[in-house]
Structure 1
Amino acid sequence: MKRRTFLAGTTALIVLPSVPVFAQEDIKAVAREAYIYTYPMVKNYLTMYQYALEPGGSQYKGPLNTLVSIARVYTPEDTAIITPNSDTPYSFIVFDLRAEPVVVTMPPIEKNRYYSLQLIDLYTNNVDYPGTRVDGNGGGDFLITGPGWKGEVPKGIKRVIEMPTTLAIGIVRTQLFSSDDLGKVKEIQAGYKAQLLSGYAGTPAPDAPPSIDWMPISDELMVTNYWSLAAFLLQFAPSYPGDEAQRENLAKLDIREGVTWPGADLSSETVALMKEVPVATEKEIRDEAARLTDSSKIFGTPEFMKGQYMTRAAAAQGGIYGNTVQEALYVIYAFDAQKVLLDGKTGKYTLTFTPERLPPVDAFWSLTMYDRPKQLLVANPIDRYLINSAMLADLKKNDKGEIVLYLQHESPGPELESNWLPAPAEIFYVVKRLYLPRAEALDGRWAPPPIEALP
């Protein structure tokens, strides 16, 4: 449609388009850039919605601004997060910081156990990490604010952390040493708390923010209703410095904060062309994610990720909520040493650690199995989803003192089953995680051993 404007003092009718007119290929090019820019937000909102905005859903954890702990590690039944870790029982909180900040309490814990609160903005950038690496294990109260908050900080707050977006997520990881250690982890999780600042400080609560009709989202709606979701989320995500061109792209497509998409001024032809973009561009992002081999340059702070829109999208697709490299380094194995896809239907594989090549960490390491199509943990007859450093004493060594892990669908036999990481009977990948990696892992002096195909 066209907007009609009368100029004062004339009788002429001037017709002005409210959004630019593009050739078909121009629309698709602009929409492609807009999709890559907004994809991490929409992907992030999918998890937030399932965790905090869909009561009764299979993945629901609790209301907004409520910290909920899961006193177990992840299994194949957990499907809201792709490529999840199964080393550390999780605690979660989805923040709505529009009205006031939230105070999160981390309890003091023993010195040899790792824990962290990963604070992630709506764009999927890692903003901060209260916990072992940054603050030690002494615990404390951390004030989490929305962008530009200028209120009074009460006594007792250890640090103030400003989130760049009003919708955000926090993920707490608590190291589990063994199955016998779960009781202690539950005690620690009981000490994690979240409360609104007014409740913490005993002050009057501010006015409630405007009510939100939270848009439903699912994997299917991320295709069929993508642009409406992207437009909806802009109200929670102020533009970063340097994002001006991306926001101009969105405006060209009538994707604006506070405006329902598609607007009346967007032609049906443009709407139809834009709806073709998500499928093709999501495949492009998947292909980019499939080429990733480690996490050293794909997760980080807003400053670190500035301008890296495709990298951020690929990281969100391949392993959303991955840690900043100083917190954890991920080595992604999708191919064997001969550059052939890992396939549990046709292949059997080994990964060998010599005593000198064990992953160098100050916390712990693990190797976790995922099926490639769904990017989730793999159900198997022994309920083993990973092998980690806490299991070293139970792993068998060969006559050279090496630990040989067996990655295959069928058991390698009773004598070797302790070293078996079960694979699906299909294409798979594994991720090696190094929590608090040492300098030699970060600067390349340590190199991860390859996965070898058995003849």
Structure 2
Amino acid sequence: MFSSCNKAPAPTAASQAKPETAQATPAELRTIIKEAYTYGFPMVDSYRIQYSYFVDQANPEYKGGWNEVHNVARVFTPQDKAIQTPNSDTPYSFLGADLRAEPLVISVPAIADRYYSLQFIDMYTHNFAYVGSRATGSEAGHYLLAGPRWQGTAPEGIKSVIRSETDLAFVLYRTQLFGAGDLANVRKIQAQYKAQPLSRFAGTPPPPAPAVAFIKPLSAEAQKTSPEFFGILNFLLQFTPTHSSEKALMERFAQAGIGAGKPFDVAALSPEQRQAVQEGMADAWKAFAQYKAEMIDTGKKGSADGFGTREFLGNDYMMRMSSAVLGIYGNSKEEANYPAYFTDSEGKPLDGAANRYTLRFEPGKLPPVNSFWSLTMYELPASLLTENPINRYLVNSPMEPDLVRDADGGITLYIQHESPGKKKEANWLPAPKGPFFMIMREYWPKPEALDETWKAPPAVRTAQ
């Protein structure tokens, strides 16, 4: 048996009253805005994506309604533009979870012949749980996903209760594809992914489901500079009960009119306030650029540092923003490690218009994984897959039998815009005619990948 006591509010769009910025001087406002923008960017950008997936039926990226699993029985291509740095290895399934009224029961089939994972992401973009090959094994099971306000107990038949600290959550499914001829098998698995309200699973009357008026997000470009960003952030904060570690932070944000359900009327800002808001946002982007140059481009911080639980990230808001900008919804390191290539072996930015590159795996030194690896190309500044004449966006484990080996058994990949010639084309990863970066994905990495006993080989510039 179970009981439910869920007194969730029904958030609505903020009213258009005068924002409460009077407590902060313009100089203080600028400082607070920089901090709040860094904190809120992952939330606002995630909302932009989920609005296109689960709310805006006119959007070409629309998948379907909340609390239903939506399958995409193909890998991503350059036509998929909502999420930055998508993988093109695993067909995705998507679940937008509205947990305000009651939990969801998420069911998976037995999957023993391939890798799969369910990544649970809250509104902050923390990865707070996993179900799948690594985390829970290959057996079938039912898992209860509950929001922060639910106070019930799980019925029989539930393997475990997974708690989200936000009312809305996102579950991102990945199902391994072994090649074009394997797609029918992936579809059969995807058809067995299920989500249903707890009341339906338990055969009890459903609780009332409060309505919510979702507000239109800003575009990816507009949210970089528009003060309307903070109206969206205030709207989203209604779904995020304040964490104990952030009470003082929220009190500080309140001095700038930022808080759950507060109005943020940009038109009511004085010229001095508006300038302070815009300068604070610009300051956040400058801080991001400096952080990227000093920490990410140099390898001091990597993907293994940028994705995970709140406890793992330790409220490092700049790291969280950087991860959202460079590859939102990345996996936690134990699920997938992501060595990134922003520069070549000499520290120069990668550019397909000016240079050609090679990347060589020494004999017996392919990425050490329990599942599979891939190397994927992304054009800049969009951080999206790039069009090319052979429709190849990555090189990965299933392609190993077709890759041409060097004389010593190693593998050299050719990374360039033009074809390296028919004899080398099997090992060609096409680059755009311009700036780019690459992400290596190590799914279910072995310890030597995580402790860097094994290191990803460099991209070496070659003669034109």
- After TM superposition, give the deviation of residue 139 of structure 1 in Å: 2.2
Tell me: higher relative CO, structure 1 or 2? Use CA pairs within 8 A at least 6 residues apart. 2
- After TM superposition, give the deviation of residue 23 of structure 1 in Å: 3.8
Match of 2:63 among 61, 64, 71: 61
Q: Does 1:430 align with 2:438?
A: yes
| Structure 1 range deviating more: 351-360 or 145-154 | 145-154
The 3 A distance-change label for structure 1 pair 283 and 81 is: farther
Structure-1 residue corresponding to 2:314: 306
The letter for the 1-side match of 2:446 is: R
The letter for the 2-side match of 1:418 is: A
- After TM superposition, give the deviation of residue 178 of structure 1 in Å: 1.3
- After TM superposition, give the deviation of residue 238 of structure 1 in Å: 1.6
The letter for the 1-side match of 2:380 is: R
**Aligned mates of 2:58, 2:308 — CA distance in 1:** 33
- CA displacement, residues 347-385 of structure 1 (integer Å, 9 cap, x when unaligned): 000000112321000000000000021000011000000
**Aligned mates of 2:267, 2:441 — CA distance in 1:** 49
Structure-1 residue corresponding to 2:243: 240
Structure-1 residue corresponding to 2:333: 325
Kept after mapping to 2: 8 A contact 1:37/1:246: no
Match of 1:261 among 257, 260, 264: 264
The letter for the 1-side match of 2:362 is: T
SS of aligned partner of 2:364: helix
**Aligned mates of 1:395, 1:216 — CA distance in 2:** 44
The 3 A distance-change label for structure 1 pair 287 and 429 is: farther
TM-score (normalizing by structure 2): 0.91
**Aligned mates of 2:258, 2:78 — CA distance in 1:** 37
Structure-2 residue corresponding to 1:26: 28
SS of aligned partner of 1:281: helix
Write the mapping of 1:193-212 to structure 2, written as runs, cut at 5 A: 193-212=194-213
Structure-1 residue corresponding to 2:174: 173
- CA displacement, residues 71-121 of structure 1 (integer Å, 9 cap, x when unaligned): 0000000001001110000000111111111111111112x4111100000
Match of 2:394 among 375, 386, 391: 386
Q: Does 1:364 align with 2:366?
A: no
Write the mapping of 1:35-434 to structure 2, written as runs, cut at 5 A: 35-110=37-112, 112-222=113-223, 223-224=225-226, 225-262=228-265, 267=270, 269-289=272-292, 291-292=295-296, 293=299, 294-434=302-442
The letter for the 1-side match of 2:197 is: L
Query: Could you list the runs of 5+ residues in structure 1 that have no partner in the other structure?
Result: 1-16
- After TM superposition, give the deviation of residue 213 of structure 1 in Å: 3.8
TM-score (normalizing by structure 1): 0.92
**Aligned mates of 1:221, 1:236 — CA distance in 2:** 23
- CA displacement, residues 220-271 of structure 1 (integer Å, 9 cap, x when unaligned): 4423221111111100112222112321222011112122213999655324
The 3 A distance-change label for structure 1 pair 264 and 344 is: closer
Kept after mapping to 1: 8 A contact 2:121/2:329: yes
**Aligned mates of 1:80, 1:239 — CA distance in 2:** 28
The letter for the 2-side match of 1:245 is: A
Kept after mapping to 1: 8 A contact 2:24/2:256: no
SS of aligned partner of 1:405: strand
The count of residues paired between Structure 1 and Structure 2 equals: 438
Kept after mapping to 2: 8 A contact 1:75/1:377: yes
The letter for the 2-side match of 1:101 is: P
The 3 A distance-change label for structure 1 pair 87 and 416 is: same
Kept after mapping to 2: 8 A contact 1:226/1:278: no
- After TM superposition, give the deviation of residue 167 of structure 1 in Å: 1.2
SS of aligned partner of 1:355: coil
| Structure 1 range deviating more: 254-263 or 70-79 | 254-263
SS of aligned partner of 2:331: coil
Query: Could you list the runs of 5+ residues in structure 2 that have no partner in the other structure?
Result: 1-18
**Aligned mates of 1:209, 1:21 — CA distance in 2:** 34
- After TM superposition, give the deviation of residue 423 of structure 1 in Å: 0.2
The 3 A distance-change label for structure 1 pair 362 and 26 is: same
The 3 A distance-change label for structure 1 pair 58 and 280 is: farther
- After TM superposition, give the deviation of residue 177 of structure 1 in Å: 1.1
Kept after mapping to 2: 8 A contact 1:42/1:229: yes
Kept after mapping to 1: 8 A contact 2:340/2:439: yes
The 3 A distance-change label for structure 1 pair 186 and 260 is: same
SS of aligned partner of 1:392: helix
**RMSD after superposition:** 1.8
